[in-house]
Amino acid sequence: MDLILDMMPDENVIFDTIESGKNNEYYQGHAEHILRNIDNVDHYFHFVNTILKNYHTLTDEQQTTIRDRMGLKPELVEKVVYKEKVVYKKDKKDKKAKLNQWDDY
């Protein structure tokens, strides 16, 4: 798509209005043209911030594709879980010696 846009002049009339109901390549061409005309990082930031305004309306698959393209990785939060071990001790005072009455040898 970049090669095609490079061959077209910058003052192309096709980029004046965006029509609805066109194929995906049409909108991709508009986006490429806009990106070529952005000249500094601040403008790019505000452009992307505006475009991603409706990010939550995309499907999970589309959101994953965008996250992968942007290089986002999920943040790992280290969580410490303490397990308490309960130990019961039997008092020897309460326990008397028992006779084994079941073995008859």
Q: Among 47, 45, 24, which Cα is nearest to 34's?
A: 47
90 is a domain residue? no
13 is a domain residue? yes
| Tokens representing residue 26 in the block | 């049409």
Which residues span the domain enclosing 60? Answer: 2-70
Number of domains in the chain: 1
d(CA 48, CA 35): 10
* Distant-in-sequence, close-in-space partners of 46: CB < 8 Å, separation ≥ 6: none
CB 2 within 8 Å of CB 32: yes
104 is a domain residue? no
Query: How confident is the model over 44-86, as pLDDT tens digits?
Result: 898 888 888 888 899 999 998 998 888 888 778 888 888 888 8
Its pTM surpasses 0.75: no
